[in-house]
Amino acid sequence: MIAKGKEVFNGAGTCYTCHGVAGDGNGPGAAGMDPGPRNFTNHQFEQVRTAGEMFWVVANGSPLQPAMVGFVSAGQITDKQAWEAVIYERSLGCGGDMDCVTGSADWVSKQPVHEEAAGNLKPEFLNTAAK
């Protein structure tokens, strides 16, 4: 699934345009964006976003970043392709830990909260149980 997600990320999903080929948020379309595209290579991001939350943004777009459109709702990719892209994106910061990649509830509950990574996220997106 990670290999298929990479194909979507660098192909039909056009994720690389803003997030960069390496997933570090430095793609050619990222110039001037505020906030900038997510850096999926930063492990702390996986600690504050579940796979389901990431899928929702890919499917519906981000209310915080108008350039992040809903690729599923626009008909550019399918639900299946969106999930594949999310799994690939999560793999970039998880170092092969499949519980991290999938964002399993058990894995998420054991993660510390990184305030600097959380920034201005809504409280419901934070893992406060692990403090």
Domain positions in the chain: 2-130
What does pTM read for this prediction? 0.75
With vertex at residue 58, the alpha carbon angle to CA 57 and CA 61, rounded to the nearest 5 degrees, is 55
Average pLDDT over residues 53-65: 91
Average pLDDT over residues 15-27: 95
Q: Locate tokens 């964002």: which residue?
A: 103
The CATH number of domain 2-130, selected from 1.20.120, 1.10.760, 3.30.310, 1.20.1410: 1.10.760
Rounded to 10 deg, the angle between the 79-94 and 51-60 helix axes is: 130
What was the pLDDT predicted at 45?
67
